[in-house]
Amino acid sequence: MIQFSLFQIPIRVLPWFWITLALIGGALRADSKQALFGMLLFMLAGFISILVHELGHALMAKHFGKRVEIVLQAFGGYAAYSGGGRLSQLQTLAITAAGPAIQILLGVGVWLLNEHLEGLSEHGRYFFTILYLISFMWALLNLLPVLPLDGGRLLETILGPERIRLTLQISLVVAVSIAVLALTFKLGMLLPVFMGMMAYESYKALKQIS
């Protein structure tokens, strides 16, 4: 496990985070030095982009007086916060939205930089391309109204605790739909498994409410 601090925010990076990134980045197909180096560049880009995402949440929570910590783990990570009093609905929305918002800004910035940089090596061009693609795709994935993604949390906050059943129903339907579409269009197994896990958690939560 790697531990460090950034902006006085403690950050922990668990081993499964690197393993997941390596698998997504083509570890099973890395049969040459070129492929292995490409996988490492993918892991670095994923680390930077996901860390920026979680820093968005953490810095906004810190702004509202919360104690914060970031943990990067398999399939992403989370920014935990506590103390500092009760948050308003608007503050909760701001904390939740800050992650994908700053990640999208990172993607736009890197895309513009990549378009205007000349003389970059093939590896440098690949790194910047992967960095902005991960940033856009991760942010958009997180905005899906599926718990516990940011989009699901935003929906949960907007609808309120008295409509948690509706939030879970929407989460379940969207997660199953995305999984089915991913399988139909042969987008690999990672997204269907990811959505299937979230659909199951929403289903379990619904059963507990019942």
Q: Name the helix (H) or strand (E) containing 142.
A: helix 122-142
Compute φ and ψ for 126, nearest 5 degrees: -65, -45
pLDDT at 150: 98
pLDDT at 118: 77
pLDDT at 88: 96
Q: Per the residue annotation, which of 54, 69, 118, 122 is the catalytic one?
A: 54
pLDDT at 121: 87
Query: Is-catalytic flag, 201?
Result: no
Number of H helices, E strands in the chain: 7, 4
User: Which two tokens mark 94?
Assistant: 């701001």
C-alpha–C-alpha distance, residues 95 and 58, integer Å? 8
pLDDT at 29: 86
The answer to whether the pTM exceeds 0.85 is yes
pLDDT at 104: 98
Residues in the chain with pLDDT < 50? none
pLDDT at 8: 95
C-alpha–C-alpha distance, residues 27 and 14, integer Å? 18
Residues with Cβ < 8 Å from 100, sequence gap 6 or more?
A: 53, 56, 139, 140, 142, 143, 150
- Collapsing DSSP states into helix, strand and coil, what is residue 196? helix
